[in-house]
Structure 1
Amino acid sequence: MSKPIVAIVGRPNVGKSTLFNALAGERIAIVQDFPGVTRDRIYADVTWLDKQFTMIDTGGIEPESSDVLLSYMRQQAEIAIETADVIMFIVDVRQGLVDDDFKVADMLRRSTKPVILVVNKVDSFEKLMPDVYEFYNLGIGDPFPVSAASKLGLGDMLDEVISHFPTDAASEEEDERPRIAIVGKPNVGKSSIINKLLGEDRVIVSDIAGTTRDAIDTTVTYNKKEYVFIDTAGLRRKNKIKEDIERFSIVRTVSAVERADIVVLVIDAGEGVTEQDAKIAGIAHERGKGVIITVNKWDSIEKNDKTIYQYSAKIKQTLSFMPYAEMIFISALTGQRMPKMFDLIEQVIQNQNLRVSTGVLNEIMTEAVAMQQPPSDKGKRLKLYYITQVSVKPPTFVIFVNDKQLMHFSYTRYIENKIREAFGFAGTSLKFFIRERKEKE
């Protein structure tokens, strides 16, 4: 079930990042950084009461001049309107109401998406309330006074945010069809891949407008089975400000990945794998999605018998944090190896849903421990008692040990590799949770 998406919009210096960090808490700062993945902190998972959502900060680059500012703000608002379930519009009580606030409020109001008006920097509710009321003039409902810096008023604001989440979770829950997001940098051929998949005679196309978002989800039937493709390519807008394109395409990618079971990361064969690709791959990895790395335009490359190996090695090196990803070399133009994509997708779906019996897992673990002694520290050695699989999509395991501190990341990785040797699990990440049990139990 995909989490709702909440986007933050507002002029520069109204405290968007402060609010973002206050809500994201410290957790986001300690995510282990994968080599080659730079972290723009543009999205974070937030839990409030029993609700979880993904928060996206659409801001980022500060425009130079005031006329650029408005077009920039418009873009931000467009992105938010396009990808979010709920929009938080941040204004600053100290700067008061500004002309640009009205213009952005107009766009947001017309979007029919729920908008929460957040008045930031209200350090004293008694003194500043009259200034807060001024924001009623925007005509988008009650202003919520907060101070992101002092973490005041955040509870009421979050209550309001989650009250707008779609409740029809049940209807979406029943849609068992696999969801595949086609993602990648602009111009790598995402649309041509979707068109090629649709172009086959066997394929019956029916367009269902993406549930709450404007992305077009396309149903493709292959071998009597339905797949839903989430296309992020069709959403490109004419962008004035060049360096924003990258950030904005990432915002879109986050929302597509969030809704997908499998992520097809498209790479341009001529360009090779770039840092932006690594960033997108990192998002899919972190979200535990199935991953298929698809090198498109393979027909345009001069090849000898070693080309494909050298190319694969280069990708594996750049995306070293996801050695499990499946890889395929295609040409959407000529249709080369396109049918094989469905076989791969099907294979990854099987692996994402694979359950391994507890008995077998413990045999693998016992053997692994016998082959490589667990680490010890100051004379105390790590003991692994028991392993069991607790869920699928992605396959998730709990290992019970005597001391969590001793279970190094590298030893968990070693156990993971042993499980993969036995069962493959190609194309899907595996998650491990380490729990402590006292000797006596």
Structure 2
Amino acid sequence: MSKPIVAIVGRPNVGKSTLFNALAGENISIVKDTPGVTRDRIYADVEWLNHTFTLIDTGGIEPDSNDIILSQMREQAQIAIDTADVILFMVDVKQGLVDSDSKVADMLRRSHKPVVLTVNKVDHHEKFLADVYEFYNLGIGDPFPISSVNKQGLGDLLDQVISLFPESVTEEEEDDRPKIAVVGKPNVGKSSIINKLLGENRVIVSNIAGTTRDAIDTEVQWDGKEYVFIDTAGLRRKNKIKEELERYSIIRTVTAVERADVVVVVIDATEGVTEQDAKIAGIAHDRGKGILVVVNKWDAIEKDDKTIYKYTNKVKEVLSFMPYAEIMFVSAETGQRLPKLFEKIDMIIENQTMRIATGVLNEIMSEAIALQQPPSDKGKRLKLYYITQVAVKPPTFVIFVNDKKLMHFSYTRYLENKIRDTFGFKGTSLKFIIRERKDNE
């Protein structure tokens, strides 16, 4: 099920990042020391009353002059309107109502997207009450007074946010066709691949009910099966500075990946695999999606008998945090190897939804323990009691141990490799949850 997307929009210094950090807490979805995974926190998963949503910070504005602030706020509002289910529009009670707030409010109102008007820096309710009421003039609903710094009023704000989530999630649930997000840097050939698969130069825009995103959904039929491709192309923003474009493409990628079962990460063979490719792939990895790395424009590469081998190694090196990813070399131009795409996608979906019997898992675990003793610390040895699979997409396992602190990351990785040796699980990450169980339970 795809998580709803909530975006924060507002002028400089109204406290957007403070709110982002307060809501995201330490629970940031970005893996700290993973090479190649973005460290600038643009998005994070937030949980509130059994709802999980993805919070997006639409970006910092460099205050230059009022005109620039307004144009950049409009740009942010547009990103939010394009991608979010709910928009948090943030204003500052101490600065009061400013002209650019009204102009952006007009834009948000016309978009008919749900907006929650968030009045920040209200650290004393009584003192600021009259000032909060002033924001009713924006005409976008009730102002919610909060203080991001003191974390006051966040509960009411979040209650309001989750009450606005779309019902349409259930419609998407019933659509059980495989959903494939095609992601990658601009100009790597994402649309060309989809067009080639359609066999004609057109992207069929069939807006499936319940998709509020502006990623284009395309139905592709192959071998009697239907697939829905989510295309994040359309990133043709002219004269944008590189950082902004990058931020925008990451936000677009997060929203597309969220809805997908399998993510096809397209890399340009002529450019080689880059840091930006790793950032984009990292989003899909963080989200536990099936991953297929497609190296496009392979026809444009001079080859000898070692080219594919060298190239594969290079890709594996830059994307070392996801050794399970499947890699294939194609050309959208000539159609070379594109039909194989569906075989790979089917295989990855099968692996994403594979369930393994508890008995078999515990046999693998016992064997692994016999081959390599679990680590110990200050004379206390890790004991593993039991392993069971609790979920699919991605396959998720719970391991019961005597002491979580002793369960070192490298030992979890060792067990993962043993499970993969038996079942492959190509193209999907595996998730492990470690739980403690005392000996006497």
1:81 aligns with 2:81: yes
Q: Which residue of 2 aligns with 1:117?
A: 117
* DSSP 3-state at the match of 1:363: helix
C-alpha distance in 1 between matches for 2:157 and 2:339: 49
* DSSP 3-state at the match of 2:439: coil
Q: Which residue of 2 aligns with 1:247?
A: 247
C-alpha distance in 1 between matches for 2:60 and 2:268: 27
Kept in 2: contact 1:61–1:244 (CA 8 A): no
Q: Which residue of 2 aligns with 1:438?
A: 438
* DSSP 3-state at the match of 2:385: strand
C-alpha distance in 2 between matches for 1:275 and 1:204: 29
Q: Which residue of 2 aligns with 1:392?
A: 392
* DSSP 3-state at the match of 2:293: strand
Which digits, 9 at most, give the CA deviation of each residue in 1:206-233, with x for residues without a partner? 7225612222211111111111100110
Q: Which residue of 2 aligns with 1:183?
A: 183
- Counterpart mapping for 1:32-431 below 5 A: 32-199=32-199, 207-209=206-208, 211-234=211-234, 236-431=236-431
Count of residues paired in the alignment = 440
Kept in 2: contact 1:215–1:235 (CA 8 A): no
Report the AA paired with residue 372 of structure 1.
Answer: Q
Report the AA paired with residue 421 of structure 1.
Answer: D
* Gaps in structure 1 of 5+ consecutive residues: none
Kept in 2: contact 1:10–1:59 (CA 8 A): no
Query: How far does residue 170 in structure 1 lie from its aligned partner after superposition?
Result: 2.9
C-alpha distance in 1 between matches for 2:29 and 2:316: 26
* DSSP 3-state at the match of 1:208: coil
C-alpha distance in 2 between matches for 1:240 and 1:69: 15
C-alpha distance in 1 between matches for 2:31 and 2:57: 18
C-alpha distance in 2 between matches for 1:29 and 1:192: 31
TM-score, normalization by structure 2: 0.96
Query: How far does residue 205 in structure 1 lie from its aligned partner after superposition?
Result: 5.4
Query: How far does residue 123 in structure 1 lie from its aligned partner after superposition?
Result: 1.2
Q: Which residue of 1 aligns with 2:4?
A: 4
Query: How far does residue 104 in structure 1 lie from its aligned partner after superposition?
Result: 0.8
> Relative to structure 1, is the Cα distance of residues 269 and 34 closer, same or farther in structure 2, using a 3 angstrom cutoff?
same
TM-score, normalization by structure 1: 0.96
Kept in 2: contact 1:85–1:212 (CA 8 A): yes
Report the AA paired with residue 208 of structure 1.
Answer: N
Kept in 2: contact 1:352–1:392 (CA 8 A): yes
Query: How far does residue 132 in structure 1 lie from its aligned partner after superposition?
Result: 1.2
Aligned residues: CA RMSD: 1.7
Query: How far does residue 236 in structure 1 lie from its aligned partner after superposition?
Result: 3.7
Q: Identical aligned pairs, as a percentage? A: 75
Mean Cα deviation higher: 348-357 or 159-168: 159-168
* Gaps in structure 2 of 5+ consecutive residues: none
Kept in 2: contact 1:352–1:395 (CA 8 A): yes
Kept in 2: contact 1:204–1:221 (CA 8 A): no
Report the AA paired with residue 277 of structure 1.
Answer: D
Report the AA paired with residue 70 of structure 1.
Answer: L
Kept in 2: contact 1:7–1:55 (CA 8 A): yes
* DSSP 3-state at the match of 2:364: helix
Which digits, 9 at most, give the CA deviation of each residue in 1:96-141, with x for residues without a partner? 1111111111111111100111111111111111111111111111
Which digits, 9 at most, give the CA deviation of each residue in 1:43-101, with x for residues without a partner? 11111112111100001352533322222111101110000000000011111111111
